A and B are shown apart, each in its own frame.
Chain A
Amino acid sequence: MVWRILLGILLTLVIIAAFAFPIVPAPTSLFEFPLIPGLEEKARIIFFHVPTAWLSVMAFFTGMFYGIRYLRKRDIRDDLRSSAAAGLGLMFCILATVTGMIWAKFNWGSFWNWDPRETSIFVLLLIYGAYFALRSAVEVEEKRATLSAVYSIIAAVTVPFFVFIMPRIMTGLHPGAAGDPEGAGPVIEFKMSGGMRMVFFTSLFAFTLLYIWMFTLRVRAALLEYHHQSKG
């Protein structure tokens, strides 16, 4: 219970800091963000956009992890965990896509530009869609569990090409992509000030905790339903 209150406080602080800290050309204190040319005030999206994108990937791998466990142990509860993670992943994936699109409209001029990272998140979205389409097409629970686990593994071994490798080697518009005039590489390393980095990592940490909380809640609900139905 205590950690949930702490999480609430942490997220509130992140939201306040993300919007209220001023952006100045040369930050001197922890409570100021640096002015990044080309991003300016729009840089604030990083505190929400990046964590959601990170969680959509993390949820995907959580789902795959439980999928593998299902294939090994044949415990249908692992499949419930797997689909709970995928459901959250889909939600965060949509959030990351939408926040990214809004930002892109103001930064790049249009909602969609087929930037490599846009392609990556789009592919992830498609995989989540396909995963749930497959699940709804199989009626037998055990078969559904097996097939969706296998599909998520196949997706996981092929798609990192996109999500992790291609955006780094391909030129793109996205900050930190190859071809960015400010230099390629993770944005956090070279453009952020100490204060910005602090807020960013706190946000990442808080969102991850939020994800874990949501995940355990969903799993608990699914397991309760499962036990209820198995008895009845």
Chain B
Amino acid sequence: MPVVERSARRWLRSTVAVFLKDWRSELRTRYAISALGMFVVTTLSMIMFSLAGETPSLEVLAGMLWVVIFFAAMSGLSRTFVTEEERGTSMTLQLQAPPSAVYFGKLLFNLVLGAGLTLLTVVLYAVFITGFVVTSYGVFAAAIVLGSIGLSAASTIIAAIIARANTKGTLYPVLSFPILLPVLMTAIRATRMACEGTTWTDAGGEFQVLISYIVVVVTASYMLFEYIWKD
């Protein structure tokens, strides 16, 4: 077998192994899943309390959906790196897998976690928040999916950074928010468009922004990850 092909396969196996390690560990401890789930439930019930039966405009509702998603993500998406640091296993991992495999494995883990979190939020939101009506389902699905991917992608590299800093928890939203603003604002606009019934062609610009954001963030993270990961 040619060397290149063999090492590509090894790399892929390693990346999947990083993902599976985190996934199994998460299933055993349920730390991030329960934190994320409880966060979504708590925030949504608070929103419902404060709305007190009123129905705000679609603009406000579309924005609030992403507020819930953002803060829930901030409560759980840093776990994948922070636990390694807390348990002292990051060096173990460094000695076993190349940095790129670690990055993509953990990115995959956060993408799955982020997708689950967004899905949960959207479902609960649709069920419990009256007045939240989606007209263009395709546009809505694309906004949610791309927004979720962008959110997880940027959160992953910031998580890698804060895991190395001393104050892990408090710094995470502070560092993430400015980086995430382009995604959040675009996703909020696209969601609003979906509620208002905008067609694909009209929302195309938002999706272009989201897709290019994802490409840029993942590429930059991949190139910079080794510097953060190595002591």
- Structural contact, B165 and A137, CB atoms closer than 8 A: yes
Q: Which of B165, B171, B179 contacts A158 (CB 8 A)?
A: B179
Whether A143 and B164, one on each chain, are in contact in the complex, defined by CB atoms closer than 8 angstroms, is: yes
Q: How far is the CA of A150 from the CA of B229 in the complex (A)?
A: 11
Interface contact B178-A157, CB-CB below 8 Å: no
* Stretch of B62-70, B117-125, B209-217 with 4 or more beta carbons under 8 angstroms from chain A: B209-217
Question: Is the Cβ of B220 less than 8 Å from the Cβ of A134?
Answer: no
The reply to whether B221 and A154 contact each other, CB–CB distance below 8 Å, is yes
CB distance from B119 to the nearest CB of A (A): 25
- A65 in contact (CB, < 8 A): no
Mask: chain A, 139-181; 1 = CB below 8 Å from B; 0 = not: 1000100110111011101110110001001000000000000
Interface residues on B, range: 20 to 34
Tell yes or no: A129 within 8 A of B by CB. yes
CB-based contact B175/A161 at 8 Å: no
Return chain A residues, CB-CB under 8 Å to B171: 133-134, 137
Is B227 located at the chain interface by the 8 A CB criterion? yes
Q: Which chain A residues lie closer than 8 Å to B179 at the CB level?
A: 127, 154-155, 158-159
Q: Tell me whether B178 and A127 are in contact (CB under 8 A).
A: yes
Q: Chain A residues with Cβ under 8 A from B201's Cβ?
A: none
Docked complex Cα distance between A147 and B175 (Å): 12
Q: Which residues of A contact B174 (CB under 8 A)?
A: 129-130, 133
In the complex, the chain B residue whose C-beta lies closest to that of A146 is B227
Q: Write out the residue numbers on chain A whose beta carbons fall within 8 Å of the beta carbon of B213.
A: 158, 161
A154 touches B182 (CB 8 A): no
**Given known contacts A133-B171, A147-B164, A154 and B220 CB-to-CB distance under 8 angstroms:** yes
A125 to B175, CA, bound (A): 12
Q: Mark B93-118, 1 if CB is under 8 A from A, else 0.
A: 00000000000000000000000000
Given contacts A146-B227, A154-B217, A161-B182, contact A133 B164 (CB under 8 A): no
- Asked if B44 is an interface residue, CB under 8 A from chain A, the answer is no
Check if A162 sits within 8 Å of B166, measured CB to CB.
no
B151-169 contacts to A, CB under 8 A, are 154, 157-158, 161-162, 164-167
Contact A158 B228 (CB under 8 A): no
How far, in Å, is A133 (CB) from chain B's closest CB? 5
Give CA–CA (A130, B179) in the complex, Å. 10
Q: Which of A71, A119, A137, A169 contacts B167 (CB 8 A)?
A: A137
**A-to-B contact residues, CB < 8 Å:** 71, 119, 123, 126-127, 129-130, 133-134, 137-139, 143, 146-147, 149-151, 153-155, 157-159, 161-162, 166, 169
What residues of chain B have their CB less than 8 Å away from a CB belonging to chain A?
Answer: 154, 157-158, 161-162, 164-167, 171, 174-175, 177-179, 181-182, 185, 205, 209, 213, 216-217, 220-221, 224, 227-228, 231
Query: 7 pairs across A/B with beta carbons < 8 Å?
Result: A134-B161, A137-B165, A138-B165, A154-B158, A154-B217, A158-B179, A162-B182
Given contacts A146-B227, A159-B182, 18 further A-B contacts (CB under 8 A): A119-B181, A123-B178, A126-B177, A127-B178, A133-B171, A134-B162, A134-B165, A137-B167, A139-B166, A149-B227, A150-B228, A154-B158, A154-B179, A154-B217, A155-B178, A157-B217, A159-B179, A161-B182
Q: Ordered nearest first, which 4 A-B pairs have the shortest CB separation? A: A126-B178, A137-B165, A161-B182, A127-B178
